[in-house]
Structure 1
C-alpha cells in the first residue's frame, strides 16, 4: 500500500502541514526537515505532483498571446521577430517547470471572446505574456488589472494601464540609424515605415523625425512611404522613391524585410547600394547579413526581452514583485556594407 503524507507526519512526529512545507521548499527548522526526509525515505514516499499542483492551485502553465492582423500572422517578418522572444521565454519557463501555451488570435477574436478576462475567471493559466503590436482597448485588459492577475506586456505599454511592460527602445534605435546616415553626409533621407498604427512603428517614425530636426534637416513627407513590413512594399516604395526628380540618397526602412525589397529595387535601376543609395533596416533578423550587400540595421535584443519578461512574470507569480513597472531595453546599430558616405 502506498504511503501517504499522514504516514510521513506520524513517523516523523510532526504535523501534516510541516511535511507539506518541507516538500514545497518552505523554511522549516533543520531538525524537522531532517526527520521528515528520513521518514519519507523509510516509507519510500514521493509527493504526488498533481496533488502538489492542486494544493498550490497552480496549473504550471503560462500563456503567450499574440493578438495580430490575420494577414501578418503567417509571414516570416512576424516570425523572425517572435521566435527569439519565444525562445527566451521558453528557456526560463523550463527552469521553473512550467509549460508555455501559445495563442495566436486576431484582435477580432480577442474582443469577441473577451479572452483575457475569461482566463482570469477560469484561472486556466498562472500568468500571461501579451505581445503588443496594436493598441488594445483598456476594457480587454481591465479584469487582469482589477484582479492583479500576473501579466506582462511585451513590445509596448498602454497609457492608463497598470500592467508591467517590457519593450525595446524603438525611438532611440531610429535616431541612431538617422544620426549615422547624417554623419555620412546624407540629408535627403527617405523612410519606408511599417503600419503607422503599430506601437513600435509610431516610435520609429518619431525617432526619424526627431533626429532630422536635431540636425536641422526639414521633415519632408513626400519621401516618407507607408509600408506594411513585407518585402514587396519595400520594393514598390523604393521604386517610387528612386524615380523622384530629387531622389533621396538614403532610405531608412522600418524592418529588414522591406530593406531587402529596397535593395532589389535599387539594383534593378542599375544603381549601386551603397554608392548611389544607402539603405538601413531595423531588427537585425537573419536575412540582414545574408543580403548583398550585407545590411546595416538596428538590432533589437529580442531574446533578452523574452528572458527578462519570463523572469519578471515568474517573480510576480511567486509574489516577489508587487508593483507595476516598465523596462526599456537598448538597441544597437549594426554597421555592415549597405551605407556609404554621400558624394559631395
Structure 2
C-alpha cells in the first residue's frame, strides 16, 4: 500500500499544499476552522510526516518557475491562464521566465541559480537532453508542456493525429493540391506536423507535393510571407493548412491583398483554436491550451509534494473545429 503524502492530505481537506504545511508547522496564518479540518483529515488518513520530510518542507519556496518563449503570443497567453488557474488550487506563487530560444542555455542557468523555485514548467521550448540533465542534476522537478521527451514528465498534444484530421478533411472536400505552412523543421512540432501531413496523404493514396511546403516560425508574418510565395507558384494549391492559427491569419491577409477570398479562392485551416479563430470563422485544429497549463501545474505539484518516482505522461487528443473557411 502506498504511503499517504502531504498531497493526499491537501486533496482530501480541499486546501492547498501550503495550507497543510502551515498547519503542520503551527503557523498562525491559518484559521481555526481550516486548522481543525486539516487535522481531522491527517488523523483519518493516518498521516505522519517524518523529520526529514518536515525539514525539506521548511526549505521550500512555495513558488514554481514557468519558462515560456513569449508572454504575448495568443497560444502562450491561453496556456498561462491555465497555469494561473492551477496555481489557485495549490497555494503556490508564480515566477515567470521569458526564455529566448536562441539563448536557452543562458536563461536556464539563470532559472537554476539559487534554487528560488520548487519546480519548473517548460512550455514549448524544445529542451535538449543536455538541458534537461541540468534539472536532474539538481533534483529539481521539471514538467514539459506542449512538448515531449521519453524520459521527462510531459503534457503534450498528439500532433500527428491533429494534422491528419485537418488534411483528411480537406481531401474529403476534394482538395488534392494542399500547401502546408510549417514551423521550424528542426523543432519537435515542425517534425511531427510534417509527418502528419505525409501520413494523411499516403493513407489517401496521394503524394504530397514538397514544393507546396513552406518553413516558417508559427507567426503571423511567417504565414503572410509563406502565402506570398505560394501565390507565385505556377499551379496554385486549392487549400492551405497552416501549422498555427497565427500563420493562418497572416495567410488570410495575403489572400485578401491578392483580391481573393476564403473559402472561394482558397480553403484555409489553422492549428491551435485561439480566440481570434472564432471571430475569423477559421476552421482549425483545437488544442486545449488552458487545460495544458492546468495539467502542467497539477503534475508539477504531484512531483513536488508526493515525491513520485514514476514518470507522468499525458497525451491529449486534439479536435478539428469546422467553421466556414473551407
- TM-score, normalized by length of structure 1? 0.75
2:277–2:284 Cα contact (<8 Å) kept: yes
Residue 254 to residue 316, structure 1, CA distance change in 2 (3 Å): same
Equivalent residue of 1:318, what SS?
helix
Instruction: Provide the rounded CA distance (Å) in 1 between the counterparts of 2:265 and 2:141.
Output: 51
| Corresponding position of 1:208 | 197
| Corresponding position of 1:90 | 84
Residue 271 to residue 55, structure 1, CA distance change in 2 (3 Å): closer
Instruction: Provide the rounded CA distance (Å) in 2 between the counterparts of 1:309 and 1:100.
Output: 13
2:101–2:125 Cα contact (<8 Å) kept: no
Equivalent residue of 1:323, what SS?
coil
* Cα RMSD, aligned residues only: 2.6
Of 83, 86, 99, which residue of structure 2 is paired with 1:105? 99
Residue 181 to residue 29, structure 1, CA distance change in 2 (3 Å): closer
| Corresponding position of 1:138 | 129
How far the C-alpha of 1:253 sits from its partner, in A, is 0.7
Residue 238, structure 1, aligned to residue 227, structure 2: yes
Equivalent residue of 1:195, what SS?
coil
Instruction: Provide the rounded CA distance (Å) in 1 between the counterparts of 2:57 and 2:266.
Output: 64
| Corresponding position of 2:117 | 125
Residue 168 to residue 20, structure 1, CA distance change in 2 (3 Å): closer
Instruction: Provide the rounded CA distance (Å) in 1 between the counterparts of 2:243 and 2:123.
Output: 19
Equivalent residue of 2:99, what SS?
strand
Instruction: Provide the rounded CA distance (Å) in 1 between the counterparts of 2:296 and 2:263.
Output: 38
Of 308, 315, 320, which residue of structure 2 is paired with 1:328? 315
Of 224, 238, 242, which residue of structure 2 is paired with 1:249? 238
Equivalent residue of 2:202, what SS?
helix
How far the C-alpha of 1:141 sits from its partner, in A, is 2.0
How far the C-alpha of 1:177 sits from its partner, in A, is 0.4
How far the C-alpha of 1:311 sits from its partner, in A, is 0.8
Residue 334 to residue 142, structure 1, CA distance change in 2 (3 Å): same
Equivalent residue of 1:287, what SS?
helix
**316-325 or 143-152, larger mean C-alpha shift:** 143-152
How far the C-alpha of 1:109 sits from its partner, in A, is 4.4
Cα-to-partner distance string for 1:226-271 (whole Å, 9 max, x where unaligned):
1222223322322322332211110101111221222222233333
Residue 154, structure 1, aligned to residue 145, structure 2: yes
1:22–1:28 Cα contact (<8 Å) kept: no
How far the C-alpha of 1:55 sits from its partner, in A, is 5.9
Instruction: Provide the rounded CA distance (Å) in 2 between the counterparts of 1:117 and 1:269.
Output: 46
How far the C-alpha of 1:192 sits from its partner, in A, is 1.1
**101-110 or 274-283, larger mean C-alpha shift:** 101-110
Instruction: Provide the rounded CA distance (Å) in 2 between the counterparts of 1:142 and 1:210.
Output: 33
2:61–2:116 Cα contact (<8 Å) kept: yes
Residue 175 to residue 116, structure 1, CA distance change in 2 (3 Å): farther
Of 266, 271, 275, which residue of structure 1 is paired with 2:260? 271
**138-147 or 307-316, larger mean C-alpha shift:** 138-147
Q: Which runs of 5+ in 1 are unaligned?
A: 1-18, 31-51, 340-344
| Corresponding position of 1:64 | 66
| Corresponding position of 2:157 | 168
